[in-house]
Structure 1
């Protein structure tokens, strides 16, 4: 249910917007129609004055052939034609170099249409595009002469084909020259590679046999073992052999030691035999020490010889290892040189094959672009397009007209719709008084002269709306005021009083506008005593209030001049007078000056039951009225708004308004209140 209500509200809001747009067009159709007519006239004038131009087009087919040219990109495969390729070809067609050749060949510099700026004008007249999803390019040229347009389109297409052929031939020629230089360089490089390989092979060293390597290794091991043995003997202090002179001296020392022991058993230490024996033993010990030193020196010499032999064997082994390493390096270098020589020979052979192919290609090269549809002489002008021009003029005129209509709508700051009144003032619309014809009597007299007229019905509707503004206590003292002068306040007050009097109510019209006295002038009572004299006590109510036999109502004119009208209206006598009049009359209508210039209506607003704000239809600025209403002390005392001088023909363009169902014996528009 909620979704349905939301949808209905949205549709209703949308319909209101559409109705508002339709009403705007209905109100402001003159500037819209005028702008459209002017735009169409301008478009027609343009079509009549413009020089027609004819467009002829030729079509080129770009062949998808592999690129067989030899150069920096010769090794790469040729890709199929894509958007980038077609864009490149289109750029070539529009290039200055190609168009300059067409200008020169066709002598466009001497043509009156192109003249000295032939190149730029030809580029502006040229249109190049790719047909969708195809390798076809469409070349179109526009000119004032149809035959010239076809000739130029064919000339540009032919120039592009010739340019592509020249480009291919030039590429083949450059490739041939490049290959010739490349062949010389490759021959030199291949020759250098072969020579380097031959020199390396000639300078190769013979390798050491395996048997010799084994013998040297064994000898080195034996030398290391002998050196280690000699070193160990020296470190342990053992001679290399136990025999020889050292052994004899040891035996001699042992014998002397036993004899010494025997002599010590028989003799003392000081015995000459013992002393002599000890001297002999010391000699033997010195001989043994000398022999040991000699043997140690010999062992050290043998150790040095063994170490030198081991070092010599190790050096031989290292030499053999170094020779083997150099052999591996020479092998790798030889393989490298052999591969380089083979690659140079292969590259030289391939280049020679390509050179022969390019030489053949330079003699004949098939075209990769051809004309598949030559340009035909156009029979009808392509520019200006009458239908398109008029449509554009119509659209521009409509846009300008809508802008002008909207500007006029913004300029119209007055109240024209009920929605404006409710939105701006937050007050109800009590009635709309139509503008009467100049042949009709005044509005105050029209009530009796034509009681069934629109104006009379509108006044009765206004009086009923005022009474319904407070159902429980219908207002009897009513103030009629406006925001600015010229709104027709006095006319509405007098006509409303006349309408009430016609319906049988005892009605009094008070002219409280003590400055201009418009109501007094309307009833020809300018010279009579009135409200001023009544308040200052110089006249009685009987003398001041008079009855108008023609309109059937009582009138209290303004009276004489006074310097402080606001103070007089705010006096206690004025309050007493209003209270007395409430009991004497059924309806009292007070005509007051505008709210904007003076404070008189603000003072009177506190003495009446309800205040009616009169606004001239589509004339008074909305901001002015809103500001004037804000000056009233009691906004709740305002019954509503009455629109005056409503133009029926114009008002219908803003939406329905309140009118009577019958007037002049005929049927009228239905009564509506938005």
Structure 2
């Protein structure tokens, strides 16, 4: 019988003992014993990889490269959308253009142009299995009727097959398209590039058209404003009798003309006075005295020439015949006749000079009188010109704004047909020669073999460790003591 009162002697019962770590020899023995498992695992992994490569549908990727230069082409001086970015804003412009490529305005025309809505790769036929339909309804995976449009579905699918990225420190944007057909990938990538350029041109054209329409609409109001200002100027001139000619007030032009006329009249009066004074001094001179050029006349020249000839003849006769000769009396009588004629011509010259002087003086007085009236009128016009100049400044300002808007409206209207964006394709998409997914068997099969062998080795080590652990496990110490006491 088992005596519960007996004191137990001996070693205490071992509740647990940690197995010793396996050495290298044990690990090699386990691997050698599990060679079959390792080989079988490696072969199985290679077979599964081959089956997977055959089951997976290969996809092909085509790449389109677009250069987005932040600085537009300098075609005209006042371009509406001309970009002259700062040094640190070019990257932001390139990133923004990358987002534009992924927008609906670029991708939807591609879907419609290539008919991707009828492509089975982009639009899958809905399942008719009642179980699948019931599960989708239960989980809320069935889209509403309004979202079942084929083009919308194709657009969403295209986004999953599209990749747009910008290379580091460049303005080159790479557009990736991955489909089951290499030709289709290249065709879609090139179509995206065409749609992007068309969208950029359309956006610039729309911006120019909006600006042109806004300017044209504003021109009507500006034109009325200019016409109103011109009407005020005309009415003010009529009310104040401010007549202009050649851009100048008539009174100012008359004043300038009268000043010139007064100078000319004063000069003529002075000349006439000088001739009159010389003519009066000439009256007391002898008949043979030379006369100033201004008093010379044809009649006077003939008389003086005849008198000089007669005086010379008389002197010769007096020398030859003597002073008391009867022939000398006739010579002296002829001299006295010529002297009377010369004196009469002098008086006529004096009278003519006097009349010229009187006319010149009268003309000068008339010009002075007209000038005085013009000065009085100009003084009144100057006071009226203060208001006129203010109205003209207002008119000039309105006209300048109107002409600026008119010129800008014409420029923006022409820019609708002008594209100066500095975008270009530097590498068109071409059909890929190699698939992008799944990877090549040269990569997959060695990786599958290594993974299979590693898994087999792990299984072999685990089996060997379990087998050696079962053989080395000793009987519990407490069990032997119980058997001894019972005996």
Q: Calculate the TM-score normalised by the size of structure 1.
A: 0.34
Between Structure 1 and Structure 2, the one with more helix by share is 2
Between Structure 1 and Structure 2, the one with more strand by share is 1
Select the structure with the greater relative contact order (CA < 8 A; seq sep ≥ 6): 2
Q: Calculate the TM-score normalised by the size of structure 2.
A: 0.45
Greater Rg by CA: 1
